[in-house]
């Protein structure tokens, strides 16, 4: 399906009553929303996502770039990644060590205890927000 057809169908779905949508159309719209939200969360919380990746496995910059792009379907430019890695290292969330791998010297990043605490705090806040009372009941 071409991009214009997709956008046309998406626009049509937005203005069509929910009860008139087929299950497949509703699933497509849900998947579109899901993809958009994941991309927004990744862009806005890139530091947290990178810390989570490095917590799972120490890695070097180019590998981080490729994994982020594959997992979250976003383009990550070197000009955004490396300053962020340096900032995380300055804050004490990461450490780096030059390692020789496959004939190349790579700067491999590892998460620190402080970085793990940062992720734990993020997870705790996220759970708090999800478990909070529904906003409708406040009004």
In this structure, is residue 34 part of a structural domain? Answer: yes
Residue 73 CA to residue 34 CA, distance in Å, equals 12
In this structure, the answer to whether residues 56 and 33 fall within a common structural domain is no
In this structure, the answer to whether residues 12 and 61 fall within a common structural domain is no
pLDDT of 121 higher than 80? yes
In this structure, the answer to whether residues 12 and 30 fall within a common structural domain is yes
Across the beta sheet with 94-101, the strand order is 59-60, 104-111, 94-101
In this structure, the answer to whether residues 39 and 51 fall within a common structural domain is no
CATH number at residue 54: 1.10.10.10
The token pair at 32 is 């579109």
- Total tally of structural domains belonging to the chain: 2
In this structure, is residue 20 part of a structural domain? Answer: yes
Residue 24 or 50, more confident: 50
pLDDT of 12 higher than 70? no
Burial 25-58 (b: 16+ CB within 10 A, else e): eeebbeeeeeeeeeeeebeeebbbbbbebbeeeb
Structural domain of residue 64, as residue ranges? Answer: 46-130
pTM assigned to the model: 0.70
In this structure, the answer to whether residues 60 and 106 fall within a common structural domain is yes
pLDDT of 102 higher than 90? no
pLDDT of 40 higher than 90? no
In this structure, the answer to whether residues 36 and 67 fall within a common structural domain is no
In this structure, is residue 135 part of a structural domain? Answer: no
Residue 123 CA to residue 133 CA, distance in Å, equals 18
């Amino acid at each position: 399906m071409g991009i214009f057809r997709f956008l046309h169908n998406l626009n049509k779905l937005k203005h069509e009553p929910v009860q008139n949508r087929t299950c497949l159309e509703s699933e497509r719209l849900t998947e579109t929303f899901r993809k958009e939200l994941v991309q927004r969360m990744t862009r806005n919380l890139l530091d947290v996502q990178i810390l989570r990746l490095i917590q799972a496995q120490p890695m070097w910059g180019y590998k981080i770039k490729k994994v982020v792009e594959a997992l979250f379907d976003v383009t990550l430019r070197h000009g955004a990644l490396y300053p962020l890695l340096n900032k995380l290292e300055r804050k004490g969330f990461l450490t780096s060590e030059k390692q020789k791998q496959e004939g190349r010297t790579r700067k491999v990043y590892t998460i620190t205890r402080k970085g793990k605490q940062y992720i734990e705090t993020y997870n705790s806040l996220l759970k708090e927000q999800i478990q909070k009372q529904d906003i409708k009941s406040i009004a």
